[in-house]
Structure 1
């Protein structure tokens, strides 16, 4: 059966993200603070932000980029990220966001895979950016270093070019706005094609359940390059004219300082940050009295952790949501004020969403019960926020999105009579480490390339702190002298820190099916 959101559908205008967020600005809005640089306290008003966006759009167009070109944005959370991101979209550019922790090799792979014609980064990440650009064949003149570096254009050059914002025309329903990379339910990272309509829709869909106001102050600790930070935090805040305080990286003392000094009201977090807020000694001494809402996402958030957070934030709503890059990203969340829904639930379907729960063994649809809880099955979702597909990968797209528009999530869920969903297991192979995606296939390919490794497999296991971590099963080559530390150091030198293998077990063989597929269930039982 098809399960529908209990909330009425919202109207989704047929406009670009720029027109949706910036065209409605009133005279009163222009002097309101849009972005605050957390470390320095420097502010950017909505009027200044729109001016910067228009100036960057003009400069990018004058540099020869055309509607539909792809430009990579490789940066931590700084105010310039907001200006550059929306300036590129204003010019009709498709933005592929690159994880700030990515290695040079990973940067190069994404640049090549996305077909990026330019790269915008910051000086602390220039070594990785330059390595990736060279590997992808991008010349230095195609690289912009926002805060400046010898031999490269910078943000000031873009803001002062004097070129007018271009007149662009495209269909928001089909024109790609962003191209984040996701591993979906399995396999190597793939370009997720999200249109302007996808992003506009998801902001409007989330708003009834996560209402923000002009008075809200939101620490931006979740990275803007991640779809959660991009849609829920950055774009959602701009839509509601809230103020965002940027943090280039998570640092607990700095986070607590920003909350207290800026009187932060809404905290969008991943579970590790929620845990720190609930239990770290520094947090126990901090002034968190201004917080009215904490919403967790990107990884499972259990009832025990929610209860601990609620004790620390007794006057705040503590909720969680669910989504994935392929859904722009939100499909479910607990509405603010719905204290009758267990905090262990991922919540209700947001407006305009439909879902099915399907038995993965039989393909039969599972009914929502009239009372109690349903049987478990794979969650499948449909709605205006579902991606257009994977870039250049029709086979994976067909495997992920059904003919009637339902997306396979790879998560096993149940639903109760009131429409609250609960994640109970994972069908997909993807590992979630501190909210970041870690695709086993990527690590396996890297391990097998080691001359002393004959075969390898990677699964997610839970460590002593309750965190899912990548564990490698390694078959050493004949005569190899290889330790677990050797394996972990080899991988760590080639991937972003969150992708590191954190446990190694040597074995005589990797269990596989007749078709050669790794039997991960057998490894989990080992």
Structure 2
């Protein structure tokens, strides 16, 4: 049984364009963006209030492209896109999107990196993506320079995105403003891009790294048309609810990392394409978050569930601020429980609380909740242009409601595949008479809302990712590191619930017989430190280390994580802890 968007969802007005860059789509009114004259300033710093108009932002992007092209020796229509890959390792700034589009203006590829990465993790991304230059910011400059050196990127090819409170820079480093001024000084304009028909569908705009299900994060090749498609899909879907509630343009929160597909597409691109103002915060700080809502009268909070939990645990602090401007709170990256939503609505009864579902490999949203059809406990309905199937473990289609199975999707936003990883690409898709389907690895049920619309609820993750405060952690990546530790004979990592971060990793470890003389707590502390020294903070074993005689596995050697989760659940139940 193939599922389609509900009848109320508008159809895409035309096939998403396949021969232009994301940047051209974002600024050209012929494709349906909110007219520039009616648009709010696209990005405003939530700390200083610094802002640029849409026209100024577009101009800055063009000048950055000229300056970058001059320094790197790049021209728009010369060389391959793979010769012009640029890493971006920075907290959110009001120039972040301008830098990405400047790379595209040169027909290059941008590779945003998680600012929480360790130097080794960033070096891995820079090397595997083939990055020739790097944009970063002062708080992580030392780490960025170390990773860049390891990846063969010279220091004069590392550029600085400026953040509030970080005005000073090393004298040898060029900032984005320096590139703007260099671009302004050059007498000739960049020649127009000469793309062939369909190039925007074939050429990656972004290399975003996804944990997948095993090993180190893999580079997901996201084409220009993938991003363009999802901006059209998400904005058209949202337009129905916005129209009903009289919303033309609004002020949105720009807190989610623009390096993550959720923040990159849903906030940075979709928000500004429909003329909204995005109030940018570099990272989450409860006081700055609340101050920004009050100061800029933010209407839409696009967040992850741990931020909701933090608000609920800090009710007294939240009540000191005027949050009356908020109409919508939208969550993604992980499900938000009905109990959490109900508690939030008791405090803010006028808010609409919605959820969405997507992944890096679908760039981004395939299921979303309309403000006009909210059903708590689900992620909403299919957005325009998406088809879905639900299949059982044998791959047979499930046709009944309330019956769990793996979600498969088709969408113009489904990505090209994984860079230099044919096996992972092959495993991510399945073909049938209806074409190519993306295997999400998520177990869902389909239910009917009170209005009679089909809603999707995620009930489990077949692919076993751990979602820590919006970040994805592959258990196998941590397991590979642990197995290199002399105190670990075998191991398995699972997600355990955490009130602050949503989920955190916990390791089950089998130690070699030679360690019987050492205390368990000493070994555990040693293992925990080992992970802290080698991985980003969200991958740390905050759930602890538990020693076990044997890791449960199937006859084929696959770790039976469900048995470990059951063990953890029983242990927590016995202790009266949250399950």
TM-score, normalised with respect to structure 2: 0.86
Counterpart of 1:156 in structure 2 is 177
Shift of 1:77: 0.8
Rounded Cα–Cα distance in structure 2 between residues aligned with 1:185 and 1:337:
35
Stretch moving more, 61-70 or 126-135: 61-70
The reply to whether residue 45 of structure 1 matches residue 53 of structure 2 is: yes
Which of 353, 362, 367 is the equivalent residue of 1:318?
Answer: 353
Counterpart of 1:173 in structure 2 is 201
Counterpart of 1:298 in structure 2 is 333
Post-superposition CA distance 1:124-163 (Å, at most 9, x none)? 1111111111121222122112344233222122111234
Q: Secondary structure at the match of 1:512?
A: coil
Counterpart of 1:4 in structure 2 is 4
Q: Secondary structure at the match of 2:550?
A: coil
Count, aligned residues: 519
Counterpart of 1:433 in structure 2 is 468
Alignment of 1:315-464 (within 5 A): 315-339=350-374, 342-360=375-393, 362-367=394-399, 369=400, 373-403=401-431, 404-417=435-448, 418-463=453-498
Which of 151, 155, 168 is the equivalent residue of 1:136?
Answer: 151
Shift of 1:186: 4.3
Rounded Cα–Cα distance in structure 2 between residues aligned with 1:525 and 1:297:
26
Q: Secondary structure at the match of 1:521?
A: helix
Alignment of 1:113-262 (within 5 A): 113-147=128-162, 148-162=169-183, 163=186, 164-170=189-195, 171-211=199-239, 215-262=249-296
Post-superposition CA distance 1:307-351 (Å, at most 9, x none)? 222233322211000010001010101112214xx2211110000
Q: Secondary structure at the match of 1:298?
A: coil
Contact map agreement 1:8 1:352 (CA 8 A) in 2:
no
Rounded Cα–Cα distance in structure 1 between residues aligned with 2:43 and 2:500:
35
Stretch moving more, 238-247 or 151-160: 151-160
CA distance change for structure 1 residues 289 and 206 in 2, over 3 Å: closer, same or farther? same
Rounded Cα–Cα distance in structure 2 between residues aligned with 1:229 and 1:426:
22
Shift of 1:187: 4.1
Rounded Cα–Cα distance in structure 2 between residues aligned with 1:149 and 1:438:
34
Counterpart of 1:269 in structure 2 is 303
Rounded Cα–Cα distance in structure 2 between residues aligned with 1:230 and 1:64:
28
Counterpart of 1:57 in structure 2 is 65
Post-superposition CA distance 1:1-58 (Å, at most 9, x none)? 1111122430223332111111228986398422111121111111110110111112
Rounded Cα–Cα distance in structure 1 between residues aligned with 2:271 and 2:337:
26
Stretch moving more, 142-151 or 246-255: 142-151
Rounded Cα–Cα distance in structure 1 between residues aligned with 2:475 and 2:487:
19
**Which stretches in structure 2 are left out of the alignment for 5+ residues?**
163-168, 568-579
Shift of 1:177: 0.4
Post-superposition CA distance 1:275-304 (Å, at most 9, x none)? 233442211332111111111101111111
Rounded Cα–Cα distance in structure 2 between residues aligned with 1:269 and 1:80:
21
CA distance change for structure 1 residues 436 and 86 in 2, over 3 Å: closer, same or farther? same
Contact map agreement 1:30 1:46 (CA 8 A) in 2:
no
**Which stretches in structure 1 are left out of the alignment for 5+ residues?**
none
Shift of 1:390: 0.6
Cα RMSD after superposing both structures: 2.0
CA distance change for structure 1 residues 32 and 323 in 2, over 3 Å: closer, same or farther? closer
Contact map agreement 2:306 2:501 (CA 8 A) in 1:
no
TM-score, normalised with respect to structure 1: 0.94
Counterpart of 1:21 in structure 2 is 26
Rounded Cα–Cα distance in structure 2 between residues aligned with 1:306 and 1:292:
14
